[in-house]
Each structure stands twice: as C-alpha cells, then as structure tokens.
Amino acid sequence: MNILEAILNAQGGAAAREAGRSVGLSPDQTTAALSAIVPALASGLHKNATQQGGLDALLGALTGGNHARYIDQPSTLGAQETLTDGNGILGHILGSKDASRAIATQAAAQTGIGADVLKQLLPIAATMVMASLAKQYSGQSAMPSSAGMPAAAGGDVFGMLTPLLDVNRDGSIVDDVLKNVGKIFGGS
C-alpha cells in the first residue's frame, strides 16, 4: 500500500475526513486535496532521505516522534499541537515556506480548491504522512529481514513513497522526482 492509500484508508477513512473537516472540506474535496499534496510531500521526503544522513534522520523521526497518534486518533488532527508539529515537519521536508506555498498553489490549480485552504491542510497532511510512515516502519522494524537488520534499513519506507513518485510508471523515480521538484521550485 502506498502512503496516499494508507492515509485515505486510515481508521476506515476517519483520519482523512477529520483532516478535511478541520479546514472545511467535503470528503471528496479532501481526497482530491490529499491526492495533490501527498505526492509533493513524498517527493520532498524522498529527496531528504537520499541525502547524506537523511535516511538516518528520517528513521530517527519515525521511531521517536510519536507520529502514529495522528492516524490512530484522528480527533487530534485539528489541534494546535498538530499544526505546530506539522509546520515543523514541513520545514524539514520542504525547507521553506515558499516551497509550501508553491505546493498549495500547484494543488489549487489541480483541484480547484483555494490555495489558502490548502495551505491550512498542508501541516495536517504532513503529520499524516509521517504517521503513516511511522506505522509502516514500526510494523516492519519488529520483523527481522534476511540480513538480520530491521526493515532493510528503511526500504519499506521507500516502498510506500515510490508508487507516488513513479508517476509515469517507468520503474524509475528519478525523472519524476526531478520534474516534481522543478514544479515546486518554479520550474516547468
């Protein structure tokens, strides 16, 4: 299951409904908004995780950040603490508020939902992304891999991100990630 599916199906869809409700979106609008936002966040996570020390930092955040609560307890998604945590996650994933604004603008063009509403949804979506990855990683890290190391050093985390990043389904995410990063930072 990829990360978007995990988010949309978490708690029987209750987490996505609560995320949308907290910013005034209908369930259909929430699905459209998350479908536009989550791939951009996944791209940022993948980019960060493939840099020097990035995977270790991501795995540390997944094991120590208590992120699973955002999926396990959907009522927390509209709380100020969630927004604060989500904005911190966005800072790590994207690096700047300009990148967040660019994602909201691009998602608004794709969905017809106002960029101001999508900017409000971004930190909530970021917490949901981390929650889904944390749940996946904690479930896999308990099982030893064939090498005797937990979860193949994050391979399952990349497994959740990859389907969203290989947009053209050519088996390589490199071209798709570069294209998405270019869009986020003002390219074509």
Instruction: Count Cβ atoms within 10 A of the Cβ of residue 59 and give its class: 0-12 exposed, 13-18 middle, 19 or more buried.
Output: buried
Residue 78 lies in domain: 3-184
Query: How many separate domains does the chain show?
Result: 1
At residue 105, the pLDDT reads: 94
- Identify the residue whose tokens are 């990859």: 162
pTM: 0.76
Please give the pLDDT value at position 52.
Answer: 80
Q: pLDDT per residue over 72-88, tens digit each?
A: 899 999 899 999 999 99
**Of 29, 11, 58, 41, which is closest to residue 117 (Cα–Cα)?**
29
pLDDT value at residue 180: 47
Q: Which residue has the tokens 């270790």?
A: 56
Which residue ranges of the chain lie beneath pLDDT 70? 1, 139-188
